[in-house]
Each structure stands twice: as structure tokens, then as C-alpha cells.
Amino acid sequence: MALQRQLARSGTQFAKTSIPRVQSRNLQDIAITRTGKPIIRISGGRSSLGGHTATVFGATGFLGRYIVNRLARAGCTVVVPFREEMAKRHLKVSGDLGRVVFLEMDLRNTASIDESVRHSDIVYNLIGRDYPTKNFDLEDVHVEGATRIADAVAKYDVDRFVHVSSHSASLDSPSEFYRTKARGEEAVRNIFPETTIVRPAPMFGFEDRLLHRIAKASNMFTSNNMQERFNPVHAIDVGSALEKMLQDDSTAGETYELYGPKQYSMAEIKELVEREILKTRRHINIPPQIMSPVAQLMNKFVWYSVMSKDSVAREFIDQTIDPSAKTFKDLGIEPTDLANFTYHYLQAYRSSSYYDLPPMTEREKREEKKYLHVLD
């Protein structure tokens, strides 16, 4: 530094350019993990090199992209175990070259699970299914699968494990989905007590199964007249909470319930959706005594996700909030309300006859002219 100042005083431009600058790290950048490993924590961008290696199981789903992208763009190496080649392609570009690493995995193949977690210092488990499939029932996915992942995490003494469960998870719930989610929580905590459990409310976003299910269907079949109530949460807020858990080790061993600021019934959400898409969806209510067996048959014989016996049972369960669980507030995040995002996520469902026009003039307002553009 003294040499630099001396050369600068002598008036040479050379002084500024030729002295090599050594990149220095602040002591605060270095964190010691639970297992005593030093890790460089950076707030850097996409091309920076952070110290964390994270494995995200279930990254190919809806929520997955919101955490993979956050980690990769902060310079973490992200290991993405996958089942299907085509399902993971979009994740490759969510980080810089070499930041997102793919590994083929099967939930029953413990060697592939071990391989996916053994280089990581944090593991996220986002694997879940709303309905039973040909090869995996809900117990296989939420309890046995989660147990195998937690076993691998404990075996390689990974620093952190974040397990995504579900809102209303309860051992005595009438829904198998909520029951198996609760049993999964119990199983992972028994194996790895430092597990952070995350219970998201129904999520909305570009790829959700909440707003888009209503916007897409021309006929909606339900059993409870859309009376179930819950606090929908923005997928981006959940992604941001999952990222905070990586940086904050005090979240280890805690349970977080992540829900939005306002409670809605499904019928209220339908109204919001219809207002945005400028169409009305027909709603047909069928009693559960008929709907349940029909849904069970459809789940068995239709190869894509339609409905299941359990999804009918879930219509009769309102979201329950555990007062002892931590929330967004404990992570310093202000959750956003669904109503602020319906236009953003649903504008594509509007007919092409509607398009953005400049604001109405006073005269147009007086004459109550509608902003309707007639094409033919």
C-alpha cells in the first residue's frame, strides 16, 4: 500500500495499473459448519464460487426451480437427482456452467441416494406426490423415501437437512396424504434430529396446481362446494425461505409453517381467477359418496394426474396452523398475498380480444366505455 502511494505521488499512471491486487476475504465470510467444516459464505452472483454444495431431491417439480435457481445464482454447486431426462432440462440454465450437476436417482436405490448426498453440506428433500401412482403409493414416497434420504444424510454426516412436508400434516388426519406427511416428519426427525421441517401451505406461481387448475378447466368437479379454507403462499416466498435456511444454522432442528397473509376459500379463489381471465368456469358439485369411487377409478386407469380418493377427502379439511411452529416472520420474510399476483400469473388465459389499452379518459369514463377491442 505504501509503495502504491509513493508511486502515485510520483505521478505515474503505471502506479495504478501494475501493482497486482490481491483478493482478500473477510473473516466473516468464513463459517464453521455443524460438523466443523470451514465454508466460505458469499453473497456473490451467478458466476461466483461459493463454498456450499447442496443436493435438492424433487428439484424437477414446481417448487424445485425456485430453490435450485436461488442456490445456483449465489454460486453454490447444486446436485439435482433426477428420474426423467426431459424433466430436468430447464434447471441446467438456472446456474452458471458446471454449477448444476445432475445425477440419476431412484427412490428405492439407496446407492444412488448415497451418491447424491455424499459431497453435499446441505440436503433438501422436496419429493412428494398428491396421489398414488402405479409404482409408488403415498407411504412409499413420503415415509419410506424420506427415511432412505435421511439415512443417507446421517450416514455421511451432512451438516444440514431440510425436509419439505405439508401444511395440516397430522398423524390422525382423515387424509392419507397428511397422515403420511406427518409420519415422514417423525421418521426423518428420529434419524436426523437436526432436520429442519418446512410445511408449506398450497402454493401459487407459474406452474401451480391451484390458480391454473381453475383457469384451465372448463368444468370443475368438486365435492365440498369449494368451501375448504387455506392461506395460499407464493412459491417464490417459500424458495426464499429455503435459501435463508442454508445461511442460518439456527434454523436446524426447527419446524416452519409457511403460509400466506390471508385466508381464502376455494370459491373465493375461483372468483378472483374468473375476474382475471374474464371467463366463468362451470362448477359441478358431486357428493363424496359418488365422487370418491369415481376418483379412485380415474386415479387407477388414467395415466395423468386427475384426481384421487384422497384429493376428495382433502377437500373437506381446512388448513390447520400449528401455533408452536415458526413462520416467515422468524426468517425476516414478509409473505405476499395471492390477490396481488393473479393478473401476473393468469393474463395468458384472457382471450386475445383483450389487450392493454391506455387508461380511460374522463369522457370515456363518463360514457362508461368498456376497454373491449373487437377483432372481427
Instruction: Kindly state whether residue 55 participates in binding ligand NDP, applying the rule CB under 6 A.
Output: no
From 18-26, 164-172, 240-248, 261-269, span contacting ligand NDP (CB under 6 A):
164-172
Instruction: Kindly state whether residue 58 participates in binding ligand NDP, applying the rule CB under 6 A.
Output: yes
- In whole angstroms, the minimum distance from the beta carbon of 62 to ligand NDP comes to 4
d(CA 261, CA 186): 28
- Compare residues 60 and 342 and give the one whose CB is closer to ligand NDP: 60
Angle at 283 between CA 224 and CA 133, to 5 degrees: 65
258, 201 in Cβ contact below 8 A? yes
Instruction: Kindly state whether residue 63 participates in binding ligand NDP, applying the rule CB under 6 A.
Output: yes
Instruction: Kindly state whether residue 117 participates in binding ligand NDP, applying the rule CB under 6 A.
Output: no
- In whole angstroms, the minimum distance from the beta carbon of 88 to ligand NDP comes to 8
368, 294 in Cβ contact below 8 A? no
Sole binder of ligand NDP in the list 21, 84, 172, 372 (CB under 6 A): 84
Sole binder of ligand NDP in the list 50, 64, 95, 260 (CB under 6 A): 64
3-class secondary-structure state, position 125: strand
d(CA 112, CA 60): 17
C-beta neighbour count of 54 within 10 angstroms: 27
Instruction: Kindly state whether residue 132 participates in binding ligand NDP, applying the rule CB under 6 A.
Output: no
- Compare residues 41 and 124 and give the one whose CB is closer to ligand NDP: 124
- Compare residues 48 and 133 and give the one whose CB is closer to ligand NDP: 133
- Compare residues 167 and 179 and give the one whose CB is closer to ligand NDP: 167
Binding pattern to ligand NDP, positions 190-209, x when CB under 6 A? ----------x-xx------
d(CA 301, CA 236): 34
- Compare residues 75 and 132 and give the one whose CB is closer to ligand NDP: 132
Instruction: Kindly state whether residue 61 participates in binding ligand NDP, applying the rule CB under 6 A.
Output: yes
d(CA 65, CA 53): 16
- Compare residues 75 and 235 and give the one whose CB is closer to ligand NDP: 235
Among positions 236-265, residues that touch ligand NDP (CB under 6 A) are none
Instruction: Kindly state whether residue 349 participates in binding ligand NDP, applying the rule CB under 6 A.
Output: no
Instruction: Kindly state whether residue 146 participates in binding ligand NDP, applying the rule CB under 6 A.
Output: no
Instruction: Kindly state whether residue 62 participates in binding ligand NDP, applying the rule CB under 6 A.
Output: yes
Partners of 309 in the β-ladder: none
Residue among 285, 277, 291, 171 at smallest CA distance from 224:
285
- In whole angstroms, the minimum distance from the beta carbon of 124 to ligand NDP comes to 10
d(CA 348, CA 118): 43
Size of the site for ligand NDP (CB under 6 A): 22
- Compare residues 164 and 236 and give the one whose CB is closer to ligand NDP: 164
Sole binder of ligand NDP in the list 34, 37, 83, 300 (CB under 6 A): 83
- In whole angstroms, the minimum distance from the beta carbon of 13 to ligand NDP comes to 56
312, 245 in Cβ contact below 8 A? no
Instruction: Kindly state whether residue 60 participates in binding ligand NDP, applying the rule CB under 6 A.
Output: yes
Among the residues of the chain, which ranges form H helices?
2-9, 14-18, 64-73, 89-92, 110-117, 138-139, 146-155, 176-191, 211-216, 235-247, 266-277, 288-301, 309-314, 342-346, 362-366
Instruction: Kindly state whether residue 166 participates in binding ligand NDP, applying the rule CB under 6 A.
Output: yes
Residue among 144, 133, 233 at smallest CA distance from 180:
144
Long-range contacts for 324-327 (Cβ within 8 Å, ≥24 apart)?
Answer: 324/255, 325/199, 325/255, 325/256, 325/257, 326/254, 326/255, 326/256, 326/257, 327/256, 327/257, 327/258, 327/259
- Compare residues 83 and 373 and give the one whose CB is closer to ligand NDP: 83
Instruction: Kindly state whether residue 78 participates in binding ligand NDP, applying the rule CB under 6 A.
Output: no
- Compare residues 88 and 160 and give the one whose CB is closer to ligand NDP: 88
Contact residues for ligand NDP, defined by CB under 6 A: 58, 60-64, 83-84, 87, 107, 126-129, 136, 141, 164, 166-167, 200, 202-203
